[in-house]
Amino acid sequence: MRYLQKRIPDLKPVSEAPSDPTKVFFGAFVSLEDDAGESLSFRIVGPDEIDPDKQYISMDSPMAKQLLGKALDDEVVVRTPDGETQWCVVEVRYQQ
């Protein structure tokens, strides 16, 4: 309870899309594709909103950190325990 009481004054709801909806920012639904044609989709949310069942990832995750500020058709390289994977941004949207 104390933790939430301290966090509430700092929270700011995001109620509209950014001025450039083709770029990845907080709250974006992002779809990616790798060189092998594998696809991945998720939403970038705050650390308190992570939900694997909904494919919500934290903005603090390595994937989200690489994607923030990127645009449609940009490529990112994400380092994982299995090595580096290159992904291409194929969709960015802000509505479900």
Give me the tens of pLDDT residue by residue for the chain, a chain 96 residues long.
Answer: 787 677 677 666 666 667 788 999 999 999 999 989 999 999 999 998 999 999 999 999 999 999 999 999 999 998 878 889 999 999 999 987
Q: What sign for the dihedral angle of Cα 60, 28, 22, 30?
A: positive
Please tell me the predicted confidence (pLDDT) of residue 51.
Answer: 96
What is the Cα–Cα distance from 54 to 66, expressed in whole angstroms?
Answer: 21
Please tell me the predicted confidence (pLDDT) of residue 13.
Answer: 63
pTM given for the model: 0.80
Under CATH, which architecture does the 20-72 domain have?
A: Roll (3.10)
Whole-number Cα distances in Å, 34 to 11, 27, 57, 81, 95: 34, 22, 18, 17, 24
List alpha helices for 1-96, DSSP H. 2-7, 62-67
